[in-house]
Amino acid sequence: MEASEKPQLPLDQDLRSAAVRVIDDRLVIERLEVSDAGAARVVREQAEKKRPPAETVSRAIEIGTRLIESEGTAANVDFVNAKFQEHMGGLADQMSELLQGGNEDLAERLATVFGADRSDSVQQQIREMLIKANEHQRTEMLRLFTAEGGSNPLNDVKTALTSSVTETAQRSERQMEALRESHTREAKEMREEIAGLRTELARLTEREEGDSRLAEAEEAGTRKGRTFEERVDEAIERIAGMRGDCAHAVGDVPGAGGSKKGDAVVEIGAGEGSSLGRIVFEIKDRQLNKPKAWEEMNGALEARGADYAILVVAGADAVPTGGVEEMHEYQGNKLVIAVDPESPDSRALELAYRYASLRVRAARESVTGVDGAAILTAANEARDALGSFKAVKSALTTASNGVDRARTGVETIERALLDRLEHIESLIEVAEQEH
């Protein structure tokens, strides 16, 4: 490699073996220690800002070098100024000597040209020229900035500003229009949604009201049926209590085989001693046909272990179809009786109850020593009285004429029936007392 033609500095031997070498355009510093608090602080701060210390030191040397060069240039300028002042001083001395030498004509001419107090001096002419130039410049600038068209330099600015303002206004208007359309659309959708909710609410309300009415109707129907049954149960309990019998409402209690047929059971004589037999009451607030009625009564007899069955229905309209007659005994152990749905505690119910009790007690084999012929005759008479009671009651119900006569007939027959029943009951009581 050829040796560099640029001069090389010798290695320094001082500063604790530090070495500074200049090789071509490079500066190599080895083991140089600089004791300067400001330099150390700057290098440390730059290192905290992630700038390598070597880079900071390198930049510091470059900047310092520029400053040293600037100092040299300033010294040269000062030297030139000094020389210029020196020459100008000599020239001033020469001019002074020339003036003092008596060259009055030259002095006068200089005073004329350069005298500050003369109107035609160079200073005054320059001043006037500057004033005119300034006025002309102001006039031209005013004309230029007030001109119309493309010659006005502010025209582009005005055009751009106007265009920007117009575009901004148009954009704002479009945004406002879009916002209005969005609000209108949202308001319409909200109105439609509210209308749908109102429709749905009305539908749900109507359905809820319908369900409520249906539930009320079903509950009323159930309540009505249960109320009729409960009223009949209360009437049966009242009659049983007066006669020393025990009555039980068993409509919700399963009987033999799990069947719930039979709504009330009367145990004859159980209120004062052992039971002499059972009467079962089947209570219905609706009309049945004859087969269904017989099925209900036979089922009640079997489920409750009873000896006699009475079907109690709510009014004459609920008497079973198929030729079934009210207050008529069937098969020796069945009877159908119609009562007022609202007031079932009537004489008809009591007569049917007492007749059934008579039939059960007369049939018991435990009743010995009783005049069987007398009881049979009294029972037949009571049955005939039931038929007469039924006929007269039917006449009273269907006929509007002769109501008083029919009522009198019913009361007469009712009294005769009660007499016969009491006669039979007395015969049985006498027999029971003797045995």
Question: Which among 325, 390, 323, 311 is positioned nearest to 353, based on CA atoms?
Answer: 311
Which DSSP state fits 11? P
Cα separation of 107 and 99, whole Å?
6
At CA 117, angle to CA 112 and CA 119, rounded to 5? 70
Euclidean distance between CA atoms 324 and 328, whole angstroms: 8
Segment (H or E) for 162: helix 154-243
* 49-60 b/e (C-beta count within 10 Å ≥ 16 → b): eeeeeeebbeeb
Above 60 in pLDDT, residue 31?
Answer: yes
- In the block, residue with structure tokens 């919700």: 252
Residue 368: pLDDT above 60?
no
Q: For residue range 161-214, what is the model confidence (pLDDT) as tens digits?
A: 677 778 787 887 888 888 788 878 877 887 787 777 777 777 776 777 766 665
Give the E-state strand segments of 218-289 in sequence order.
246-249, 264-267, 278-284
| Complete DSSP assignment for 95-122 | HHHHHHTT-HHHHHHHHHHH-TT-TTSH
The one-letter code for the residue type at 26 is: R
Flag whether the pTM goes above 0.85.
Answer: no
Q: Is the pLDDT of residue 318 over 60?
A: yes
Q: Which amino acid is at 73?
A: T
Contact yes or no for 358/279 (Cβ under 8 A): no
Name residues whose C-beta falls within 8 Å of residue 231's C-beta, 6 or more positions apart in sequence: 342, 343, 344, 345
pLDDT for residue 266 = 96
Local structure of 339: helix, strand or coil: strand
In angstroms, the CA 317 to CA 421 distance is 28
> In angstroms, rounded to a whole number, what is the distance separating the alpha carbons of residues 391 and 252?
35
CA distance 111 to 115: 5
Per-residue confidence (pLDDT) for residue 167, from 0 to 100: 79
Lookup result for tokens 């949202």: 186
Query: Does residue 257 surpass a pLDDT of 60?
Result: yes
